[in-house]
A and B are shown apart, each in its own frame.
Chain A
Amino acid sequence: MKNLHLKNLRLLDPSRRFDGPAEILVENGRVREVVEGRTSGTPEGFEAADLGGLCAAPAFVDVHVHFRDPGQTYKEDIESGSKAAAAGGFGTVCCMANTRPVNDSVSITRYIQDRARLVDLVNVRPIGAVTVGLEGKKLAEIGSMVAAGAVAISDDGRCVMDAALFRRALEYARGFGIPVITHAEDECLCGEGSMNEGALSTRLGVRGRPAVGENVMTYRDTKLAELTGARLHVAHVTTAQAVKIIREAKDRGVAVTAETTPHNLVLDERAVIGYNTNAKMNPPLRTLLDQAALREAVRDGTIDCIATDHAPHSRDEKARDFDLAPPGVIGLETAFPVVMKLVHGGELTLLRAVELLTSGPAKAIGLDCGTLKPGAPADIVVFDPGEEYRIDAKTFQSKSRNCPFDGWDVKGRVKALYREGRKVW
């Protein structure tokens, strides 16, 4: 492990409210010191790396990815997923439990971490299931999974429809100090829908998922969180109403956090026109009014972080007819340039954008990352906020190509990723 002296950079570390020229000293894989401004020389035993004026920040954190490993590794596995994360500037990711078999046990939780350790690229933290098999009937062995390394629990992909059971899950999880992440969509209302319900879904002849399905479930879950005092994290918020419900819950002091995706911030339901399966995901893209509310929410902190919900699917699966294609889009390798659109559009400051990708998610889930305070692991992302390029899905590290941004001209590029002082991208 080398000792590094990173110089000639602009450091953005929201965890310490720092934005400015700085230098970073990395010793034995950890941040020894962050020096403001410029220094003259490099200490002995340190290798100097001149970053040419680029930006550096704590490595991004994505608390919502699907690596399909075990069980569907033709779409993605822990190795390709880690590579995709690294290419996107993410040093820590949390992977959801809807693998095959479901991660509702210690063995799968351990497998994921062992695999990630072997791959040795980025930190992969498992999220355990709330219920056995994600069937929504019986609690999984949550305590054991946490002891084995799970950082949160979630039935994501599905919603725990039994309110009494979800209440118990919140109470139980509270005892183990982990948050419960909810995919808040009423399955009865949303059922087999493939896109946002409204005039457009009627025009296209596609079954819709009404916004009210997300709104009522978000309300239910925040009220249960309030009742139980447990920590709730709302995954992929897409509607203006859900934003309002979360804001009001936070105002009442409920321990709720929330995330939204890059695609919900820049796309709307019209991306589906032409039956584009690369714009199909659950919950779906909504209206421009919802998009505006989400943008406001990431600004004012109602939404704590951005998470990609990276959901790889094979080309053949996405080539199916619209109703039959599996929902989900990849996002690790496009999250940063897409978020930068809001920065370049004047809607977010760069520091806030970085916060949404670093300390925001880390705090929401309670992870020990997303910061470059002295002593923290030297997980550092280097990026150029102004570099213009065209997104080309063919060059992705991910095994899958189901990306709604393919061909987009964007500004803002991840240039390098360090993990514990070692360059992994």
Chain B
Amino acid sequence: MKGFQRKDLVSIDSLSKDEILMILDTADSMKQILRRDRKKVPPLQGKTAVMLFIEASTRTRTSFELAAKRLSADTISLTPDASSLTKGETLFDTVKNLEAMQVDYVVLRHPQSGAAERLAKQVDASVVNAGDGWHEHPTQALLDLMTIRERFQKFDGLNVLIVGDIAHSRVARSNIYGLNKLGAKVMVAGPGTLIPPGLTGDSEYPVEVYNRLEDALPKADVIMMLRIQLERIGQSLFPSEGEYARFFGLNAARLKLAKNHAIVMHPGPVNRGLEIASDVVDGSSSVILPQVENGVATRMAVLYLLNRSPEAIRGDA
């Protein structure tokens, strides 16, 4: 059986269904390693992974660092002063300097859509997109898919509901692409201002749009809540936290409308009381903590599968 043949992971959009399944299968094995006493294996020994987080995120960065270390890689974290690098002038220079120091992986989180794709073309290191602007957050979608598969063993015929700021969410986008590729049905719900243009017109990734959460919940096997960024209030995208929580927050009463076996997911960090009620976060339907564990396993799988050997870069079999 042919293995994984990529140098970088930039997007879910660019992966085939088989490649996604390969990653999920590998992540299952990696999870076992996380559960045993000696949580380390040697494949990335002697390799160096740089965490280049232009946009700060302790949780994702920690998850990637752990994943790299469990595979015996060395890790370095760079969180350059966001203000100088968001001007976009020196990212290329930063990475070229790192390359001169012979690093093998760059895990990049950047506020600009497309940053990871551009970087991957410019460096020999394996680039892993840890979130670029609004564009994609592939490892988050992969860990979400892994979590869903653990619970349901399949994607065909599953209804997944994504709720929140779809327009500005790379997590939503990556999941919409991944779920569609694997055969699940995707619904989104949110205020009209937070649904992006052209979403329903995308024939490659069909999505059903609901403006009322109550209309979508009864069909949902999976409810994926997105984090609301409070800065959006200032941009007239919705009037207040209170309004948002009242109409789109997932509380226990709304959760009852969903199917009995429905699971509740959230990429974190959670705004308790805003997009999701505390008792739902801590309740029995929530798989938020398993998501975190699966995050390390998924990222281990990704780091293990990416390969920058000359043959892989050239695309030879």
Tell whether any CB of A sits under 8 Å from a CB of B in the complex.
yes
- Residue numbers of A with Cβ under 8 A of B are 197-206, 208, 210, 274-275, 316, 319-325
Q: Tell whether A204 pairs with B198 under 8 Å between CB atoms, given A316-B89, A320-B89, A324-B87.
A: no
Complex alpha-carbon distance, A206 and B167, angstroms: 10
Least Cβ–Cβ distance between A46 and chain B, in angstroms: 57
Q: Looking at the complex, which one of A201, A321, A325 makes contact with B197 (CB distance below 8 Å)?
A: A201
> Which residue, A274, A321, A322, A325, has most C-beta atoms of chain B within 10 A?
A321
Which A residues are in CB contact (< 8 Å) with B115? 321
The chain A residue sitting closest to B173, CB to CB, is A205
Q: Please state if B114 and A201 are interface contacts (CB–CB under 8 Å).
A: no
Q: Looking at the complex, which one of B13, B112, B198 makes contact with A201 (CB distance below 8 Å)?
A: B198
The chain A residue sitting closest to B203, CB to CB, is A199
Complex alpha-carbon distance, A124 and B199, angstroms: 46
In the complex, B214 has a CB within 8 A of chain A: no
Q: Looking at the complex, which one of A202, A206, A316, A325 makes contact with B199 (CB distance below 8 Å)?
A: A202
The chain A residue sitting closest to B204, CB to CB, is A203
Complex alpha-carbon distance, A205 and B170, angstroms: 8
The chain B residue sitting closest to A203, CB to CB, is B202
Least Cβ–Cβ distance between A308 and chain B, in angstroms: 26
Q: Which secondary structure characterizes the binding site on chain B?
A: loop
Least Cβ–Cβ distance between B68 and chain A, in angstroms: 26
- 6 A-B pairs besides A205-B132, A206-B133, A324-B87 with CB distance below 8 A are A198-B197, A198-B201, A199-B197, A199-B201, A322-B113, A324-B88
The chain A residue sitting closest to B85, CB to CB, is A321
Q: Please state if A203 and B114 are interface contacts (CB–CB under 8 Å).
A: no
Which B residues are in CB contact (< 8 Å) with A199? 197-199, 201-202
In the complex, B4 has a CB within 8 A of chain A: no
Q: Please state if B133 and A202 are interface contacts (CB–CB under 8 Å).
A: no
The 9 closest A-B pairs by CB, nearest first: A199-B198, A205-B135, A275-B114, A205-B113, A205-B134, A321-B112, A320-B88, A202-B196, A321-B88
Q: Please state if B118 and A275 are interface contacts (CB–CB under 8 Å).
A: yes
Complex alpha-carbon distance, A4 and B167, angstroms: 64
Q: Please state if B114 and A322 are interface contacts (CB–CB under 8 Å).
A: yes
Which B residues are in CB contact (< 8 Å) with A275? 113-114, 117-118
Interface residues of B in 86-111 (CB under 8 A from A): 86-89, 91-92, 110
Which A residues are in CB contact (< 8 Å) with B221? none
- Total inter-chain residue pairs, C-beta < 8 Å: 73
The chain A residue sitting closest to B198, CB to CB, is A199
The chain A residue sitting closest to B115, CB to CB, is A321
Q: Please state if B133 and A323 are interface contacts (CB–CB under 8 Å).
A: yes
Which A residues are in CB contact (< 8 Å) with B92? 319
Interface size on B, residues (CB 8 A): 28
Q: Please state if B197 and A197 are interface contacts (CB–CB under 8 Å).
A: yes
Which A residues are in CB contact (< 8 Å) with B110? 321
Least Cβ–Cβ distance between B279 and chain A, in angstroms: 34
Which A residues are in CB contact (< 8 Å) with B167? 202
Complex alpha-carbon distance, A320 and B86, angstroms: 10
Complex alpha-carbon distance, A116 and B202, angstroms: 50
> Which residue, B13, B88, B89, has most C-beta atoms of chain A within 10 A?
B88
The chain B residue sitting closest to A325, CB to CB, is B88
Complex alpha-carbon distance, A210 and B88, angstroms: 25
Q: Please state if A202 and B135 are interface contacts (CB–CB under 8 Å).
A: no
In the complex, B55 has a CB within 8 A of chain A: no
In the complex, B136 has a CB within 8 A of chain A: yes
Which B residues are in CB contact (< 8 Å) with A324? 86-88, 112
Q: Looking at the complex, which one of B13, B87, B91, B118 makes contact with A203 (CB distance below 8 Å)?
A: B13
Which B residues are in CB contact (< 8 Å) with A202? 167, 173, 196-199, 202
Q: Please state if B89 and A204 are interface contacts (CB–CB under 8 Å).
A: no
Least Cβ–Cβ distance between B207 and chain A, in angstroms: 11
Least Cβ–Cβ distance between B195 and chain A, in angstroms: 10
Interface residues of B in 36-92 (CB under 8 A from A): 86-89, 91-92
Which B residues are in CB contact (< 8 Å) with A316? 89
Which B residues are in CB contact (< 8 Å) with A322? 112-114
Complex alpha-carbon distance, A94 and B115, angstroms: 37
Least Cβ–Cβ distance between B196 and chain A, in angstroms: 4
Complex alpha-carbon distance, A321 and B113, angstroms: 8
Q: Please state if A321 and B118 are interface contacts (CB–CB under 8 Å).
A: yes
Complex alpha-carbon distance, A321 and B136, angstroms: 15
Which B residues are in CB contact (< 8 Å) with A320? 87-89
Complex alpha-carbon distance, A319 and B115, angstroms: 11
